Amino acid sequence: MIQKIINEIRQAIEKETGCRKPKPERRYHKHNEYISYGLKTAVFHRLMKEFRPKFLKLTLPQRLELATKLLETRIGELGHVGIYVLSISSEQLSLKHFPILDAAADNFTSWSHVDVFCTAVTPDLLFKYPKQMLRFLEKWNHSPNRFKRRASVVTFIQDVAKSGQFLDDALRLCENLVWDQEDIVRKGVGWALKINMQYSPKRVLNYVKDLRRRGVSSTITLYAIEKLDPAVRKEVLAIKKKQ
């Protein structure tokens, strides 16, 4: 049954893309690992709306198997379908499913996989199992997998940032990555800081100023201050690295 659904998803995507073969997408991905059909986002969302009833008829174990196998294809859109299946199952996920999520993240091939996963899946688990999920994110924070490292901080955006419950943890995990060599990780840190600054402006702004004094990559600090008042941005940008 699971393979039949995967075949139906593939056929639906191929129909929408004129039977285009998946190939590396290089415009938004520096590495060749993101293999994509080139399906437009609006079409993807329409297809997910059409497939949703079929997904919901599956049991949770069947949905987890489907998501796992879709991500294992390492084809961009199929991976996104897998993450969508996880997202509509997030309220049913529990501690026993953490290993499945960890394995799923091993098959992320794009920052876009990370970002959808961290807005649609990990926040529910963080609110339900804060201590256990923080340990899980700590593990990802030190992972050799750059997508997991990005996920360890991007989880702290949107509702998580708004809640104000996890600011200490967000800043601690961001701090661990401020010298990371991977661009997508640094951008993830900057994004997490930018969103948290909306809800804890004084503390996060002071932290970003300290990053400037330490000479941390401008990729991080420019992302972090992007939405600030121009006068405040100018003040931050005037800060020079301490000699």
Query: Could you please report the per-residue DSSP string of 38-54?
Result: ---HHHHHHHHHHHHHH
pLDDT at position 28: 66
Contact call for residues 181 and 217 (beta carbons, < 8 A): no
Walking along the chain (243 residues) 10 residues at a time, the average pLDDT comes out as 95 91 73 84 97 97 98 96 97 96 96 97 97 98 98 97 97 98 97 97 97 96 95 93 79
Contact call for residues 77 and 39 (beta carbons, < 8 A): yes
Beta bridge partners of 135: none
How far apart, in whole angstroms, are the C-alpha atoms of residue 204 and residue 194?
8
What Cα–Cα distance (Å) separates residue 53 from each residue in 6, 15, 48, 85, 116?
A: 15, 20, 9, 11, 20
DSSP state of 90: G
Contact call for residues 92 and 60 (beta carbons, < 8 A): yes
pLDDT at position 24: 73
Q: For 207, list phi and psi in degrees, rounded to 5.
A: -65, -40
Beta bridge partners of 36: 23
pLDDT at position 20: 82
pLDDT at position 183: 95
Question: Which stretches of the chain are assigned E, i.e. beta strand?
Answer: 23-24, 35-36
How far apart, in whole angstroms, are the C-alpha atoms of residue 186 and residue 175?
11
How far apart, in whole angstroms, are the C-alpha atoms of residue 63 and residue 127?
22
Contact call for residues 76 and 37 (beta carbons, < 8 A): yes
How far apart, in whole angstroms, are the C-alpha atoms of residue 78 and residue 36?
9
